[in-house]
Chains A and B, each alone.
Chain A
């Protein structure tokens, strides 16, 4: 039996009298690769922020047994700032040094190792103002990895990244998961990719409509979460297909 690494019990969250999450219960086990899907405004990011500890005024209980590496949505970043790639990544090591302290040579080596791991070592002295969406996504991943996490939470990592970039990014996640024995929680709109990669899938729209291994999730489940007339694009291994609700 694998160890429980995240437990979410009876979580409810409202903001300005609007109910955002209702009665959320689930468990994630060590080494799981979990995908969370749901339409816009379903509360996916809110749920991530609750697990991460960014939102605290929810009711219910959340237990996390491990360190989280958080890759938030790209739109949180001010891409106008002339901060170098390696400087940005160093944020992941901040906890180790803290206020008024300088990073050591070893710290910078570790930062470079992580930039190498995510494949952007060549960009280490480039300002983030000159990065593409895919490169910035990798940089945020490197920053999260430098935090030395047990759990990786990725919030819509495909946003603003081209198709090739997406595919390579997911491959990278796979590799890291195996190498570092990470538990991964992936929030995404990319239903096809989630079905292809994740072992367990949660469908969220204010409340959890289904959570099961991917084999047991049906099109009906998805249509319950998304609206009824939703056309689902499913990306197969080598092709796209479209399934209509007739």
Chain B
């Protein structure tokens, strides 16, 4: 066992993957309860697909992917915020914009000559490609998420429980909504290399859904989500190393396993 751990930590890329996974577990466990309680479960998927459009542009123009991915994610977040205030729910807004961004990305990809394997690795993620730079970015995003939670906790709660009347009590709802959506967008960008565009939704939906059943307090929801996310990430990475499995999907399947356990426990 100790030999295994020593072996595991002797590979830089595995250590990077491990730290990145843990950081992502922390930041998504702050957003997951918000996403679930506000019934905007598809926001993570939507943003991730928007990021795909950004990635496509970056590959076409041969630019660094991260700034462009961040930019498209923020544009997507702002559009959702704008639409959901005027027109429809967050889910409807995502439903409209997700295919648009994805389609745009596909059109852009069609202009790229030759084979585009890298794009594929972003669709499904590859935690083993995490660089030190990615880890720093994740560290920054996770710190921002934690600060948001500490300093905007009461605003987030008002936003969730009674958005309409909160405005009357001078709570800056538009600011809160926009800040949260941007924070979420940045988190999704940070997750893309780990879980891929397609799987990132699981980190944002499953922990919040499980913790909502057991938590009496909002803070407990975040804490339970944190435990669920970290457990799934740690076990997922170890499993994928031992049995030669793709790490992102392994973590997602474990998260679903936890959900299944909580479901079975309730009906039995």
Which A residues are closer than 8 A to B by beta carbons?
52-54, 70, 72, 76-78, 80-84, 87-88, 90-92, 94-95, 98-100, 103, 127-128, 143, 147
Contact = CB atoms under 8 A, between A and B. Distances in A.
Interface of chain B: mostly helix, strand, loop or mixed: helix
Contacts of A52: 168
Contacts of A100: 151-152
B168 A81 contact: no
B115 interface: no
A87 B216 CA distance: 13
A76 B157 contact: no
B158 interface: yes
A76 B175 CA distance: 20
Contact of A128 (B155, B161, B164, B215): B161
Contacts of B217: 82, 84, 127
A77 B157 CA distance: 12
Given A72-B164, A99-B155, A94 B169 contact: yes
Contacts of B160: 78, 81, 83
Contact of A78 (B152, B155, B162, B171): B162
B99 interface: no
A87 B168 contact: no
A76 B165 contact: yes
Contacts of A72: 164-165, 168
Contacts of A81: 37, 157, 160-161, 218
Given A94-B154, A94-B158, A70 B165 contact: yes
Given A78-B161, A84-B217, A91-B169, 9 more contacts: A76-B162, A80-B37, A80-B212, A81-B160, A81-B161, A82-B216, A83-B160, A99-B152, A127-B217
Given A77-B162, A91-B162, A83 B169 contact: no
A90 B216 contact: no
A98 B167 CA distance: 12
Contacts of A94: 154, 158, 166, 169-171
Contacts of A76: 162, 164-165
B167 A82 contact: no
A54 B168 contact: yes
A91 B154 CA distance: 8
B178 to A, nearest CB: 13
B23 interface: no
Interface of B: 37, 151-152, 154-155, 157-158, 160-162, 164-172, 175, 212, 215-218, 220-221
Contacts of A91: 158, 162, 165-166, 169, 171
B186 to A, nearest CB: 19
Contacts of A128: 161
Contacts of B162: 76-78, 88, 91
Nearest to A76: B164
A95 B175 CA distance: 15
A88 B168 contact: no
Nearest to B165: A72
B171 to A, nearest CB: 5
Nearest to A90: B154
Given A72-B165, A91-B166, A91-B169, A82 B218 contact: yes
B151 to A, nearest CB: 5
Given A77-B161, A99-B155, A128-B161, A54 B218 contact: no
B135 to A, nearest CB: 28
Contact of A127 (B151, B170, B216): B216
A95 B169 contact: yes
Contacts of A54: 164, 167-168
B40 to A, nearest CB: 13
Given A82-B218, A83-B218, A100-B151, A95 B161 contact: no
26 contacts: A52-B168, A54-B164, A70-B165, A70-B168, A72-B164, A72-B165, A76-B162, A76-B165, A77-B165, A78-B161, A80-B37, A81-B161, A82-B212, A82-B218, A82-B221, A83-B160, A84-B217, A88-B157, A91-B165, A91-B166, A91-B169, A94-B166, A94-B171, A99-B175, A100-B152, A147-B169
Nearest to B171: A94
